[in-house]
Amino acid sequence: MAMTDSDPYAPAPASTPLLALIPAPTRLTRTPDRGPYVLDAGTAVEARPGTEHVAHWLRSTVGAATGLPFRDAAGVAGAAGAAGAPGRLLLAVDEDVTRGLGPEGYRLVVDGTGVRITGGGPAGVFWGAQTLRQLLGPDAFRRAPVGGQRAWPVPALVVEDAPRFAWRGVLLDVARHFLPKDGVLRYVDLLAAHKLGVLHLHLTDDQGWRVEIRRWPELTATGAWRARSRYGHGASSLWDERPHGGFYTQDDLREIVAYAAARHVTVVPEIDLPGHSQAAVAAYPWLGNTDVVDTSALGVWDRWGISPNVLAPTDATLAFYEDVLTEVLDIFPSPFVHLGGDECPKEQWRASPTARAFIAKEGLGDEDGLQLWFMRHFDRWLAARGRRLVGWDEILQGGERRGAGTGLSEGAVVSSWRGYGGGVAAARAGHDVVMCPEQHVYLDHRQAPGDDEPVPIGWVRTLEDVYRFEPVPPALAGQDAAAHVLGTQANLWTEVMENQQRIDYQAFPRLSAFAEVAWSHLPAPEARDWHGFERRMTAHYARLDALGVDYRPPGGPQP
């Protein structure tokens, strides 16, 4: 799609409001002779079929912030008038209007008679409504009205917009530190405000199991709790001597899924296996490699890094995880189910007579083959149920040597985190991929050098670094395989983020830059208008303030 007719990045003359949309729309044209339109108590919403949930969102969210009632046009006297009658906010799905913009695309028209948001599908209408909220100004992001503003002007304009990528994701690691349900719902809203449509919930890890499984209650009774955490490295490490834990009931998760669905956010659950599984082994010791270690003595892992206590390759383990996944599928309608596959230490398999015999019997070659065997089993199991496996790029290990491609089903998706390499290889082999290289979009990494960063881990990934991240690497650019890049994802691992405030600090403002990378049709990294983005961020910080986001301030932490 062509970048722009009029330039949404151009600095606004001082006399006109800075629109400062984030993520930047594909095309924005000001039509000052046709407007503005002023929303007030008389503005009625006409929600055509398929858009009722957007009207509901407007009332419950923008209405709560502004005091605007957004009354239903059907209930307003004389409402039988033509579409987009004066004083109307029209919401409609109409592909004839949005032609070529796709189901998530929308056309937003503001003129003196009202506002018309037309989507290629219901999602497009919702993203258009999010744009309208930005146009109303930062106070439209509050939870309740401040001051007595009754009239909300919006400049006359036409926006035509559609996302570059379908998978615009954020991983929230609720395993290392549990984030209570309300915090997750709040993140759904923050994602939606940035037109990000995938919430990848990392529900299990060595340090905690966070999803209620009715058939296997010890997973949460035991696996959701640890007595303490260890921070720092080597001699300078310290135990905090505080318990940590929590989990979501299935009802909690259904509520999160429904809340997200109403905001066009898909929740992709991750059950990490066969590594990162000590919490499960602590709950059911027979899941572990009992001929190598006395797993009955294990607790939930209480330090960071990667536990050597991985799943044992037995029929009982497979059957157990089939039970788990049966319940997971029942909770999460997502077409994609993430099963990890990352960072699985192989020492216990190497030492285990059971695992060695298994590798020999199945002709797996070595431990990498064994890991692939695990992933393939569940890849097929998911495919038979109409779902697609997603795994970290280690799921490619052990495939090529066996001369059978990746050994995974065609629908399997790779999350490329150790750089772009795994994603490039997977795309060339015909798999869809999500690019989330740790060198660019790991938001647990520090955002500035210096001693005063509250979360001083990892490499430095500045706001500008994230803004200049390009999901399609040169190795794929211009090739057919580039079509396999479903999109991109920023990952919030929470080893050093204990609570919502810390997550906010690491996530923002970088997630705002990431949203633009995922949604907007930006030019090549070196040609991106970083200073224009910075200028728009000035207005966006006011929105984040109104939302109560504890972002890292532009100048760094205040003493």
Contact set with ligand TNX (CB under 6 A): 342-343, 392, 417, 442, 444, 493, 495
Residue 301's DSSP bridge partners are: none
CB of 529 to ligand TNX, least distance (A): 30
Nearer to ligand TNX, 444 or 470 (CB): 444
CB of 393 to ligand TNX, least distance (A): 8
Torsion angle, CA of 278/282/288/293, rounded to 10 degrees? 100
Per the annotation, the verdict on 343 as an active-site residue is yes
- Report CA torsion sign: 435, 453, 542, 258: positive
- Report CA torsion sign: 408, 173, 272, 259: negative
Nearer to ligand TNX, 209 or 493 (CB): 493
Convert 439-461 into a string of H (helix), E (strand) and C (coil). Answer: HHHECCCCCCCCCCCCCCCCCCC
Structural element, H or E, at residue 375: helix 367-383
- Report CA torsion sign: 327, 414, 439, 448: negative
Nearer to ligand TNX, 111 or 342 (CB): 342
> Which of 52, 255, 327, 343 is the catalytic position?
343
Q: Residue 505 is encoded by which pair of tokens?
A: 């600090």
Q: How many residues does the chain have?
A: 559
Q: Residue 91 is encoded by which pair of tokens?
A: 């919401």
Separation of CA 112 from chain center: 37
Separation of CA 411 from chain center: 20
Separation of CA 227 from chain center: 30
Q: CA-CA distance, 35 to 155, in Å (whole number)?
A: 6
Nearer to ligand TNX, 420 or 442 (CB): 442
CB of 276 to ligand TNX, least distance (A): 6
For 199: left if phi > 0, alpha if psi spans -120 to 50, otherwise beta; the answer is beta
Nearer to ligand TNX, 239 or 459 (CB): 459
CB of 311 to ligand TNX, least distance (A): 16
CB of 455 to ligand TNX, least distance (A): 11
Q: Residue 360 is encoded by which pair of tokens?
A: 């020999």
Q: CA-CA distance, 39 to 47, in Å (whole number)?
A: 16
Nearer to ligand TNX, 114 or 340 (CB): 340
Separation of CA 287 from chain center: 30
CB of 239 to ligand TNX, least distance (A): 20
Torsion angle, CA of 442/447/448/453, rounded to 10 degrees? -110
Do 502 and 508 touch, CB atoms closer than 8 A? no
Nearer to ligand TNX, 133 or 445 (CB): 445
CB of 77 to ligand TNX, least distance (A): 58
Among all residues, which ones are annotated catalytic?
343
